[in-house]
Amino acid sequence: MEISRDMKEKVLARVNEERLITLLQKLIQMPSPVEEDGAEKEISEYLQGYWKRMGLEVFVQDVPRFHESIPKGPHPQIIGRLKGKGGGKRFMMGGHIDTEPVVQPERWTKDPFGGFVDREEKGIEGQGYLYGLGAANMKQSVASFTEAVYATIESGVDLKGDLLLSGWVLEDIGCIGSKYQVDHWNEIGVGPYPDMVLDGEPSNCEVRSTHVGVSCFTITTKGQLGHVSQRYVRRPEYLGKRPINAFDKMFKIIAELKDMKKSFTYTRHPYIGDCILTVGDVRTKVGGKGGRPVLGSSECQADFDLRYLPGMTTQSIQEDLERVIYRLKIEDPELEASVSFWPQTVAGATELPRDHLLHQVLRKAHQEVFGEEVILDIDAKGTSVNRFVDRCKYGGTDIGSFYGVGIPGTNYGAAQVPVTPDERVSIPQLVKHCKVSALTTLEICNR
């Protein structure tokens, strides 16, 4: 179906800047830091009512607390559906409704939950900024996508395919909500999976199509408490009783894993580069109340965050870890270690081809609204274009969850720096993002 200029103008004319700004202010004024219990309840309930008044069917899915690392609920994520006439592609736009906690509160000059608007400040797309926690990451796109759907409904333009609008929860601690959504999709009652997904993570209205997967896991090493003076005793009565320091064994594993090219099986990506392994909390069990260092530790646990490349899977990562531990055990028979993966692991790395339909449509819509070519995170040869999106390439997003079940998607959102004091979004850029989203909806749902 060819989308006429008249049809596009009808929709664009209905994009209401003040309504968009007011909605984003309201969402910011509802605190939803992910680490708090039931963080998304208020904002979810507000959006449910807002979407229903727009004319959407609304479906609510509460994400259970299936691991102690997840804050207590409820965590009600939502999907709004605008039914199409039939025959078109099912398209989903979405963003997470939780935020990071307030970073460096002493450096904020604006109320993080005020939704302050400065109309005079000059920005990247003209004058005007809106401030607050989530203004970039990523209530901006939740509001923008909502207004894009609102404008489509008010225009009276019919869509062939169903349009879905989603608000995910628990993204900032591992994309838990979107992963739960795709794994329990049939329970929602919203119909088949979408054909493709547009996520609105802040990308400065550049397309972020390629990024890493995220795998979090814990390695546990076992040892045996004993005085260090007994370590090298060779007398028979000491066999099996000499001290084994679990931390020393963990140190060997960490040193080995940090050599990424040696430890993990992958081909260096032309855009992202290599994997990144980060060691987090390291915990030991020692003897007595606090223990004496001379006794060593009987157990050591270390948490790891691995940002991995397209082509790698959680299965291949597990096999690599087991191979590393096996090789170290041959060199050191006293080494005893096990690996457990966290349940909130992002499904996988994403890489949407440059010529995919979603990218074609985004390029066309961005050109019409911004009057310039959109920047993709990779050029035609797959190498970095060294722009803003480069700085985000090691971050996982909800798109990874959909890739895990074969649904393609990409990221395109307003704003630049997502987690910072005085987090903000350019108002002119936000409005343009909304218009691009509306045009993208028209094109995709009528294919």
Residues 283-321: tens digit of each pLDDT: 999 876 666 787 888 999 999 999 999 889 888 999 999
Share of the chain above pLDDT 90, in %: 71
DSSP state of 101: P
Distance CA 128, CA 18 (A): 12
Do 176 and 402 meet the contact criterion of CB atoms below 8 Å apart? no
Q: pLDDT per residue over 132-164, tens digit each? A: 999 999 999 999 999 999 999 999 999 999 999
Distance CA 168, CA 80 (A): 12
Work out the pLDDT band at 395, boundaries 50, 70, 90. confident
Distance CA 409, CA 267 (A): 23
pLDDT (average), residues 399-428: 91
- Asked whether the CA dihedral 217, 223, 225, 230 is positive or negative, the reply is negative
For 327, residues 6+ apart whose C-beta sits below 8 A from its C-beta are: none
What would the two tokens of residue 336 be?
Answer: 């005893």
pLDDT at 12 over 80: yes
For domain 213-341, give its CATH number from 3.40.50.10420, 3.30.70.360, 3.40.50.261, 3.10.129.10: 3.30.70.360
Work out the pLDDT band at 344, boundaries 50, 70, 90. low
pTM, rounded to two decimals: 0.88
pLDDT at 236 over 70: no
pLDDT at 403 over 80: yes
For 265, residues 6+ apart whose C-beta sits below 8 A from its C-beta are: 312, 316, 319, 320
Helix axes 427-445, 357-370, angle to 10 degrees: 140
Q: Which of 187-191, 235-239, 259-263, 423-427 has the lowest mean pLDDT?
A: 235-239
Strands lying side by side in the sheet with 213-222: 276-285, 299-308, 213-222, 337-341
Whether 5-211+349-445 shares its CATH topology with 213-341 is answered no
Range 5-211+349-445 has CATH code 3.30.70.20: no
Strands lying side by side in the sheet with 424-426: 117-123, 126-131, 424-426
Share of the chain above pLDDT 70, in %: 91
> Any idea which residue has 């006794």 for tokens?
295
Work out the pLDDT band at 57, boundaries 50, 70, 90. very high
Distances (CA, A) of 410 to 65, 71, 178, 241: 28, 28, 14, 56
Domain ranges across the chain: 5-211+349-445, 213-341
